[in-house]
Amino acid sequence: MNALISHPAIKKVLATETDISAAVQHIADSLDKKFSDSSRRPIFISVLKGAAIFTTDLLRKMSLDVDLDFIDVKSYNKSQSTGNIRVTHDVSTDLTDRQVVIVDEIVDSGRTMKWLVDYFKLKGASQITTVVLTDKKEARQVPVRIDYAGLEVPNEFIVGYGMDYNSRFRNLPVIAILDTNKLDDIK
């Protein structure tokens, strides 16, 4: 068992490695089907850093050949969203007339995903598909369409499988709720 799972700040495990693998496989199968007749490879854009693990596992489960790029955007300061989104690393691929698949590990308020959809439209994407491993519907503040979501999670601070608290718990192999009353135990 991974020692991080028993950390005092981990309140509850929401999804095991088996649960996550099944959700990722389901999304991969759906995307394979969606893009099976495409004449041009879709481009998957992974939102760094959190979606890196999910994106890697997702692409390894797909049978289609796809292009891959990355974008890094920041909107959080510690455990709070600032509401301001800034690009710290942009995609390097020309998105003109491309089928873009945005891959993120979580959508909560919806601000970042909505911003990314609008941003990639401005960059010329012909079609945008949104994919998230976890969907925190209760936290939605901005209406945004999520095409494929693996798991619905409660409106709590979620860590693991790429999701973090100040860069901690990202490599936790499960998805868990962080006990925000025990943040002092995080060193």
8 A C-beta contact, residue 5 and residue 172: yes
If one counts the domains in the chain, the total is 1
Q: Which tens digit of pLDDT belongs to each residue from 26-72?
A: 999 999 999 998 888 999 999 999 999 999 999 999 999 999 999 99
Q: Using alpha carbons only, give the angle 6, 171, 58 rounded to the nearest 5 degrees.
A: 125
pLDDT of 126 > 70? The answer is: yes
pTM: 0.92
11 part of a folded domain: no
150 part of a folded domain: yes
Domain CATH for 108: 3.40.50.2020
The pLDDT assigned to 81 comes to: 58
95 part of a folded domain: yes
The pLDDT assigned to 70 comes to: 98
Question: What string of DSSP letters covers 53-122?
Answer: HHHHHHHHH--S--EEEEEEEEEEETTEEEEEEEEEE---S--TT-EEEEEEEEESSSHHHHHHHHHHHH
Token representation of residue 107? 């959508």
The span from the CA of 182 to the CA of 117, in Å, is: 35
Least confidently predicted of 71-85, 93-107, 153-167: 71-85
163 part of a folded domain: no
Domain that holds residue 57: 17-156
119 part of a folded domain: yes
8 A C-beta contact, residue 44 and residue 68: yes
Share of the chain above pLDDT 70, in %: 94
Share of the chain above pLDDT 90, in %: 80
Instruction: List residues with catalytic annotation.
Output: 108
